[in-house]
Amino acid sequence: MKLGMLTACLPQATLPEIAQWAAENGYSALEVAAWPALGDRPFTATHIRAEDFSERDADQTRELFARTGLTLSSIAFYDNNLHPDDQERRSINTHLLSCIDAAAMVGCPTVGTFIGRDPGATVADNLRQAEKMFPRIVDYAGERGVKVIIENCVMEGWHPDGYPGNLAYSPELWEWMFSLGLYLNYDPSHLIWMGIDPIEAVRPYVDRIPHAQAKDIEIFPALRNRFGYPGRAVNRSDPWDVGWWRYRVPGLGQVDWRRLIDVLYEGGFDGVLSVEHEDPVWSGTPDKVRDGLDIARRTLARHIVA
């Protein structure tokens, strides 16, 4: 197992700058953000331009990772592959294929994305749509030696009423994804607020997890008693502000990282555990973000056998 980080938390830094900092501060791998230039969407960045990635870009990327001694664990493009607008859906699907091409060019084993959801259709209808679309993407990736991994983020902000916007949030849906040839980029934080035990839930599925993310979560029970599971309903100007929980860097929330990492080891996981920094306390400036990454490293590194 190696400790890595997702580069999206430092959107203004260049990939060489992030790689140098990571190598000097105890990280062994990078999960590299590859969103297209989409403006100021939160928690996205463009550290690889997959849509026009060239052989020269691939050579430079391989040289960077060789020079810093880091592993390129995954290319990250988390967007709604079932977007309700047909033109936007095609654009997202096409960019995902570009990320797969870029991963193949640099020898990166995985590309991460979401299933997504059309919020105007039922869950069952969305699953049938995905069953028509994703096998082609899985085949395309497999022909290039790349695995497509799906993060189990709920993406409640994509749904107008705060219900799941990414149909990968439970073990039932993981089994459905696996039947399509997809893999899981496991993040325990999302399970806790849904009432699922993140340690017991993952035990049967470790062999389908080539990559995992480390994000923590802080729960406020008194506010949950007020708002209920879907979160704020009357005054919710920010679709992502559920009102009763927030993400934290590992060590400042409720995930039991000692037990979770032990379960991953027990199940044979030998991939990268990648810190996904979305902690509002340790955000706002690049220095605070890096401080948050340092907290995460100090929390996790003592449980990982180098």
- What's the whole-number average pLDDT of the chain? 96
The full length of the chain comes to 306
The reply to whether 306 falls in a domain is no
The reply to whether 224 falls in a domain is no
- Kind and range of the H or E run holding 2: strand 2-6
- Written as one letter, the residue type at 41 is R
The reply to whether 221 falls in a domain is no
Rounded Cα gap, residues 103 and 34, in angstroms:
10
CATH (domain of 141): 3.20.20.150
Q: Which residues of the chain have pLDDT under 70?
A: 38-40, 306
Task: Count CA atoms within 13 Å of residue 38 on its CB side.
Answer: 20
Per the CB < 8 A criterion, the answer to whether 165 and 120 are in contact is: no
CA angle 70, 27, 16 (to 5 degrees): 55
Q: Which residues pair with 3 in a beta bridge?
A: 273
The reply to whether 243 falls in a domain is no
pLDDT for 251:
97
The reply to whether 49 falls in a domain is yes
Q: Which residues contact 260 (CB under 8 A, 6 or more apart)?
A: 188, 198, 199, 202
Domain of 283? 2-215+253-301
What is the greatest pairwise CA distance in the chain?
A: 55
Per the CB < 8 A criterion, the answer to whether 5 and 48 are in contact is: no
Rounded Cα gap, residues 99 and 42, in angstroms:
20
Per the CB < 8 A criterion, the answer to whether 60 and 101 are in contact is: no
Q: How many domains does the chain have?
A: 1
The reply to whether 276 falls in a domain is yes
The reply to whether 232 falls in a domain is no
Which parts of 147-187 are beta strand (E)? 147-151, 183-186
pLDDT for 39:
60
The reply to whether 220 falls in a domain is no
